[in-house]
Amino acid sequence: MTEFAKDTTDRHLAVAPFANLTVVEISNSVAAPFAGQIFSELGARLIKVEKPAGDDARGWGPPFWEGASAYFQALNRNKLSVVCDLRQPQEVAALVEFIVEHADIVIQNLRPGQVEKLGIDGATLLQKKPALIYCNLGAFGRVGPLKEKPGYDPLMQAFGGIMSTTGEPGRPAVRVGASLVDMGTGMWAVIGALAAVLERVQTGRGRVVDVSLFETASCWVSLLASQYLASGELAQRQGSGASGIVPYKGYKTLDGELVIAAGSDKLFRALASVLGHERWAEDPRFIDNPNRVKNQVELYALIDPLIAQQSTEHWEQLLDAAGIPCAPVNNLAQMLDHPQTQALGLVQDVPGTQMKFLGLPISFDGQRPAPYAAPPKLGEHNHLLQGNL
């Protein structure tokens, strides 16, 4: 216990609102590790509990970077890794003892039902420590016919309706490349846990917080779902476009792709002028957004060939000058190298390594939280808990 209390990791962070919190993360993969990383990057002491073989994400490569997959390293900086064999009752008991004595928050995303079998579920631990905040990151949610079923990001993009609206019309559904369901669920876990922390300040009591991949996926399609609930008509695949807003999509240019978001009547008039067809704005087919949505095939058939005649830079300059929102379709290298990315300081060095990662998308008084320690080796910090594990 004393070795944990005397942890001398240099954590002189300029932005550390969670410096007084100890978070125990019992997790694998993406969702819970991302939640844990948000806490750790904002100053919390984060104890990552891993099985003897380690977080599965350690092997999700190539590419590998300084001892583990780039996936794992990107999600686990600033953490302390402790190995706990959950098949060994004495190690489970030690973990419970540690949580009761030290933890403010527990976040977990083990297989459905596993924490209950082990006696490390929220209800059990809150009986031992009523002020504990315990957050479950599940697959399909805590109740319902699918509550025991496991889930991963692509499964939830499919089941939650995201894939049904992603891709080109008439072609198979497409998964969004980024793990937006996993990482979104991690964000909701942090939001829920922090709401419970605020409540605990007032009441002195903790609570169990539940989030799930399916609930996050359903949230991400809530605008599209509202259109269906209002009209009874299913949103179709829009490619780079948006259901209910026209013109609002990507176009091929002479040397790339450009997204133009002329999402109002005023912007459409400006776009028609830039394209040399001012009269489009008075055409009954295109005179307002409902009519443009209704006649979008005809409108896009007019716009597409015009945009294809010039370069992305040509159109960017004209559209920017006219105040029409637009953006090139950057690849990752272009995004990372862009002066705007550099000005924001989004790409951050990890101390003591050659690794660089994208930082959290938040700043306090103009300062972005920064990593202060490398991702841990498996079991690297077991010595901090010698009294328990």
List, by residue number, the catalytic residues: 182
C-alpha 234/C-alpha 225 separation (Å) is 8
C-alpha 51/C-alpha 99 separation (Å) is 17
> Quick count: other Cβ atoms within 10 Å of Cβ 306?
14
Classify residue 146 by burial, with Cβ atoms within 10 Å: 0-12, 13-18, 19+. Answer: middle
β 22-26/45-50 pair status? parallel
**Encoding tokens for residue 211?**
């989030």
Classify residue 199 by burial, with Cβ atoms within 10 Å: 0-12, 13-18, 19+. Answer: middle
What are the beta bridge partners of residue 47?
Answer: 24, 80
Long-range contacts made by residues 128-131, C-beta under 8 angstroms, separation at least 24? Answer: 128/96, 128/100, 129/99, 129/100, 129/103, 129/206, 130/204, 130/205, 130/206, 131/104, 131/200, 131/204, 131/205, 131/206
Phi, psi of 105 (to 5 degrees): -135, 140
C-alpha 74/C-alpha 359 separation (Å) is 10
| 17 upstream amide cis, omega within 30 of 0 | no
Asked whether 23 and 80 are in contact (CB, 8 A), the reply is: no
